[in-house]
Amino acid sequence: MKLDGATVVVVGMARSGVAAAGLLSEQGAKVRRVDQKPGDGVLPQVEESFRGADLVVLSPGVPADVDVAAQARARGVPVIGDLELASWFLRGEIIGITGSNGKTTTTALTGHILKASGIAAQVGGNIGTPPCSLVKTSRAGQWNVLELSSFQLETTETFRAKIGSALNVTPDHLDRHYTFENYAEMKARLFTRQRAGDFAVLNADDPVCQSYAWRGTGKPIWFSSSGTVSPGAFVDRDWILLDGAPLMKTGEIPLRGMHNVENVMAAAAVARLAGASHDQIRAAVMTFSGVEHRLEFVRELEGVKWYNDSKATNVDAALKAIAAFDGGLWIILGGKDKNGDYAPLAAALQAKARGALLIGAAAGKIKAQLRGAVPLIESETIAGAVREARARARPGDTVLLAPACASFDQFENYEHRGRVFKQLVRELA
């Protein structure tokens, strides 16, 4: 689409929307900035703001079926997202990584491996730098390593990744996508436009990920923690094998939990396709320190260890966090409900936890669904939960923030929630 002189409405003025508006202006478009909170050159999100638009660009936080977008489509106006817009201008090939859980760690690790291996790469997407902000620094011969959410993939039309990866697909964001089938379909969009010569790195142990192998014409590359796969990566006793050759021992991975072994296998398979050697991959993995808010060790105080996994924003992520510990857990649960089912947490809590500290808007629902599993302590806020955990935990115990919920009832985002938690823990006497 010719953007020079076109009237383009950008909806949502958070980081991604601001970056999209900037890119459009650089391309000569006449940009209207729209948000639910107007002011300072930002128009209200009402139908009048969309009149005469040639194109509408939605930020990831704006649902694709929002009324003003539906009305624009009815008038024949194209409606896309910021990822689609960025892909029109990004130079170099794209690596796209999605999944319900683990995609931030895997994206950061993939970028770390490539850079440590001397392979040109930049990292962004749903992690850190918005896609449109990567356009200026992109160049031919460089990999654009993108973490991709269902919100971003939902509004793509021509976007294509040279290498796409799906780590796992479990129920999440059902408050936005309504059904699990719709949510899984959004993830599938990463693969539907792949063609011969492209690659789909998929979790062989996840039936939804398996189904993505036939959605495009990219070549499937597998990873598995439970069986032998080829081509790809799998665990054989205490070794990871990649393309049939030993890569590294699982004990050499500096991250906790079997889910991080799976993340390493996915990142290794992607990095190998992008040109990294086995030795380079192993060395880079061993120097990867992890990502903030993902099973992040905060401190040990009087024999009690405190961990921040604020990124555990759904039940499956919380289950993976619980599985990374041997027991003695005091787990902080709650926040904004995403139409989740918390009952699957019961067995894991009975096996590993001494109690659960409930916070936020979802506390009542969680209490009703987990009643009888472990002691449930209504704490209302993060500060309340930290106080309760400090009073109850004994030497050898672990306090784990793994909320299984979004953060927007009490915080700006999961990063804000995690940083508040860490500050409270560090201030404990």
For residues 400 and 156, what is the distance between their CA atoms, to the nearest angstrom?
36
The residue segments making up the domain with residue 173 are 90-286
Residue 64 sits in the same domain as residue 26: yes
From 286, 316, 351, give the residue that closes a domain: 286
Residue 344 sits in the same domain as residue 370: yes
End-to-end CA distance of the chain: 60
Note the pLDDT of residue 172. 75
Q: Which pLDDT tens digit goes with each residue over 70-80?
A: 999 999 999 99
Band the pLDDT of 128: cuts 50, 70, 90: confident
Residue 256 sits in the same domain as residue 301: no
Note the pLDDT of residue 171. 77
Number of domains in the chain: 3
For residues 103 and 190, what is the distance between their CA atoms, to the nearest angstrom?
13
Q: In this structure, is residue 170 part of a structural domain?
A: yes
Q: In this structure, is residue 36 part of a structural domain?
A: yes
Both structure tokens of 113? 């491996």
Stretch 387-411: mean pLDDT: 97
**49, 43 in Cβ contact below 8 A?**
yes
For residue 63, give the CATH number of its domain: 3.40.50.720
Residue 253 sits in the same domain as residue 113: yes
Residue whose C-alpha is closest to residue 314's, from 343, 342, 352: 342
Note the pLDDT of residue 173. 77
Alpha-helical (H) ranges within 44-147 are: 67-74, 82-87, 103-116
- The yes-or-no verdict on residue 374 having pLDDT over 90 is yes
- The yes-or-no verdict on residue 176 having pLDDT over 90 is no
Q: In this structure, is residue 291 part of a structural domain?
A: no
**201, 165 in Cβ contact below 8 A?**
yes
Stretch 180-198: mean pLDDT: 96
**Which residue type does 88 have?**
W
- Write down the catalytic residue from 101, 112, 144, 173: 173
Sign of the four-CA dihedral 108, 222, 313, 322: negative
- Write down the catalytic residue from 103, 187, 320, 352: 103
Neighbouring C-beta atoms of residue 47, cutoff 10 Å: 11
Tell me the pTM. 0.87
For residues 18 and 8, what is the distance between their CA atoms, to the nearest angstrom?
13
Stretch 275-287: mean pLDDT: 98
For residues 349 and 339, what is the distance between their CA atoms, to the nearest angstrom?
20
Residue whose C-alpha is closest to residue 201's, from 103, 117, 123, 280: 103
Helix H or strand E segment including 330: strand 329-334
DSSP structural state of residue 48 = G
Cis, peptide link before residue 44, omega less than 30° from 0: no
Note the pLDDT of residue 259. 92
Is 173 annotated in the active site? yes
Helix H or strand E segment including 165: strand 163-166
- Write down the catalytic residue from 126, 168, 260, 314: 126
- The yes-or-no verdict on residue 54 having pLDDT over 90 is yes
Note the pLDDT of residue 127. 85
- The yes-or-no verdict on residue 177 having pLDDT over 80 is no
Is 126 annotated in the active site? yes
Residue 12 sits in the same domain as residue 53: yes
Least confidently predicted of 95-99, 124-128, 317-321: 124-128
